[in-house]
Amino acid sequence: MGIMIRRLSTMRRLEIISVTNSAGVAPALLSSTAAFAENLALPSPLRNHHRLTNSIRFLESRSLVTFSSSCLSSSSAAYLPTLDEFSSTTSSVARDDDNQKVVLKGMSYAALQEWVESHGFRPGQAMMLWKRLYKDNVWANDADELEGLNKDFKRMISEHAEFGALSLKDVRSASDGTRKILFTLDDGLVIETVVIPCDRGRTTVCVSSQVGCAMNCQFCYTGRMGLKRNLTAAEIVEQAVYARRLLSHEVGSITNVVFMGMGEPFHNIDNVIKAANIMVDENGLHFSPRKVTVSTSGLVPQLKRFLRESNCALAVSLNATTDEVRNWIMPINRKYKLSLLLETLREELSSKHKYKVLFEYVMLAGVNDSMDDASRLVELVQGIPCKINLIQFNPHSGSQFVQTDEDQMIKFRNVLAGGGCTVLMRFSRGNDQMAACGQLGMLGSVQAPVMRVPERFRTALKASV
């Protein structure tokens, strides 16, 4: 009995859980109006413990939380998620196979070190393993690539650990050099990652945090999918590792990470923070925290937590200057209004030194691109250290919206700049391979509902709703 208690205690401290087949819960998440996963109390942070002997089995299985669904009709006047808190649904850090193997890239360094010690090896060997996973241009994907590690250590790793959480499905190249990488997950679901080269010597990898998305932003193709499940920390981290391993020789050093792929990162905040911490570890992938940017549609409680726990950069997808428009194109605004979102940023950023939030603003012709919108935007961001990124809308199948033309974007930018704002402009990259902002994912037979269009905006759209 004492041994069993120690096993379970170690499991909790190391944050290692096993995976169950998420395909079984996917039908319950048919659209972005489905209920979010129930709250889950994640294992407590690592604490010191007595070293386990080799006779103690290290891993114990733990089942996933269950999902509930509560769909609203597309004509519903009030879209609101069913939970007060957008807690992370959790998936695996370890695979539930016969050998109870842990996925190495799902662990923080502290957890990896404790795992290595639990098998009777020295802490220094954990650092050697960590560096071969993430550093020195090794990016090891199997035990044969662990050069410099002794045979017994490599044998233990082969017997008790897995290197990868993703399987490469395809790499597609756009005419402008952008690459879209498709990965298959253990449960057969597919995610997409984008690598964006830049002439200025900066190359960015755009990672996904979920399969699909629950936010149902009306201009986003991923949002049409609804949410299938969250990605684990291992599945997020490995996207960046794969990008470096596959493409560094073609596009040069990958210097930046943006959490702007499939999914709402703050709806999976536990795994996103964990993955970001691994990415910025100085002995690991060693991205600068200011070059790892996590984007959100505006989940206020998670935004507060992120700003207090992480040194990485924050982007907020704003896209409207009134609640009327934002309620329509970003239904999360019905829960967290513009005023609450912006006031939270003012308060939280007041105590952070030399920190600026990036506001993302997708420009939709006749919807949010008027000069009145530009003037309102100047007023809305007063008192918030920020930059504003004006983003060209990227059309996709079934889209209602039309791109703002470049001349109008420039006029909009000039109003912002005249109001004292720092403004950037982002034009489409990779759109001929559906790799541009808002184009990732693949629709299934059931899709998220289209929100009712306010009467005065219907003429601005390509088709009436």
Q: What is the pLDDT of residues 370-380, one digit of tens each?
A: 999 999 999 99
| Mean local confidence (pLDDT), 169-197 | 92
Q: What is the pLDDT of residues 433-465, one digit of tens each?
A: 665 577 677 766 667 788 888 888 887 775 434
* Cα–Cα distance measured from residue 276 to residue 214, given in angstroms and rounded to the nearest whole number: 21
* Cα–Cα distance measured from residue 390 to residue 413, given in angstroms and rounded to the nearest whole number: 8
| Mean local confidence (pLDDT), 210-228 | 92
Three-state SS for 140-166 is CCCHHHCCCCCHHHHHHHHHHEECCCC
| Mean local confidence (pLDDT), 355-375 | 97
The confidence score (pLDDT) of residue 400 equals 86
Q: Which residue among 312, 386, 421, 437 is the active-site one?
A: 437
Which residues are registered as beta bridge partners of 3?
A: none
- Distances from the Cα of 244 to the Cαs of 5, 112, 285, in angstroms? 41, 22, 9
70-95: b (≥16 Cβ within 10 Å) or e = ebbeeeeeebebeeeebbbbbbbbbb
Residue 402 pLDDT more than 70?
yes
Residue 233 pLDDT more than 70?
yes
Please report which confidence band the pLDDT of residue 106 belongs to, taking 50, 70 and 90 as the band edges.
confident
Handedness of CA 321, 325, 327, 329 (dihedral sign): negative
The closest alpha carbon to 229, from 187, 199, 193, belongs to: 187
Q: What angle do CA 331, 333, 337 make, to 5 degrees?
A: 165
The confidence score (pLDDT) of residue 202 equals 86
The confidence score (pLDDT) of residue 434 equals 60
- Least confident range from 17-26, 264-273, 311-320: namely 17-26
The confidence score (pLDDT) of residue 60 equals 32
Choose between 307 and 8: higher pLDDT: 307
Please report which confidence band the pLDDT of residue 432 belongs to, taking 50, 70 and 90 as the band edges.
low
Q: What is the pLDDT of residues 378-395, one digit of tens each?
A: 999 999 999 999 999 988
The confidence score (pLDDT) of residue 215 equals 95
Please report which confidence band the pLDDT of residue 135 belongs to, taking 50, 70 and 90 as the band edges.
confident
The confidence score (pLDDT) of residue 61 equals 29
Residues 6+ apart with CB under 8 A from 158: 143
Element (H, E) at 414: helix 406-418
The confidence score (pLDDT) of residue 380 equals 98
The confidence score (pLDDT) of residue 27 equals 36
Give the rounded percent of residues in the chain with a pLDDT score beyond 90.
57
Q: What is the amino acid identity at position 384?
A: I
Strand ranges inside 204-346, DSSP E? 204-206, 210-212, 227-230, 256-259, 292-296, 313-317
In the annotation, is 455 catalytic?
A: no
The confidence score (pLDDT) of residue 435 equals 59
Give the rounded percent of residues in the chain with a pLDDT score beyond 70.
75
Residues 6+ apart with CB under 8 A from 42: 15, 88, 90, 270
Residues 6+ apart with CB under 8 A from 369: 363, 404, 408, 409, 412
Q: Which residue among 114, 192, 264, 360 is the active-site one?
A: 192
Element (H, E) at 4: helix 2-14
* Cα–Cα distance measured from residue 236 to residue 274, given in angstroms and rounded to the nearest whole number: 10
- Least confident range from 97-101, 135-139, 182-186: namely 97-101
Choose between 410 and 174: higher pLDDT: 410
Q: What is the pLDDT of residues 35-67, one digit of tens each?
A: 333 333 333 333 333 333 332 333 332 232 333
The confidence score (pLDDT) of residue 442 equals 73
The confidence score (pLDDT) of residue 212 equals 94
The confidence score (pLDDT) of residue 448 equals 78
In the annotation, is 192 catalytic?
A: yes
Q: What is the pLDDT of the chain when averaged over all its residues?
A: 80
Strands 386-392, 357-363: pairing kind: parallel
Please report which confidence band the pLDDT of residue 176 belongs to, taking 50, 70 and 90 as the band edges.
confident
- Distances from the Cα of 26 to the Cαs of 67, 197, 263, 449, in angstroms? 9, 34, 15, 17
The confidence score (pLDDT) of residue 154 equals 95
| Mean local confidence (pLDDT), 277-283 | 94
- Least confident range from 96-110, 295-309, 398-412: namely 96-110
Q: What is the amino acid identity at position 276?
A: A
Q: What is the pLDDT of residues 1-12, one digit of tens each?
A: 444 444 444 444
Classify 202 in phi/psi space as left (phi over 0), alpha (psi -120 to 50) or beta: beta
Residues 6+ apart with CB under 8 A from 236: 207, 208, 209, 271, 272, 275
* Cα–Cα distance measured from residue 403 to residue 409, given in angstroms and rounded to the nearest whole number: 10
Residue with tokens 């080269």: 197
The crossing angle, in degrees rounded to 10, of helices 151-160 and 123-134 is 70
User: Which strands, in side-by-side order, build the sheet including 167-173?
Assistant: 167-173, 179-184, 190-196, 204-206, 256-259, 292-296, 313-317, 357-363, 386-392, 423-426
Residue 165 pLDDT more than 50?
yes
The closest alpha carbon to 318, from 295, 292, 351, 284, belongs to: 295
Handedness of CA 94, 275, 270, 34 (dihedral sign): negative
What pTM, to 2 d.p., does this model score?
A: 0.79
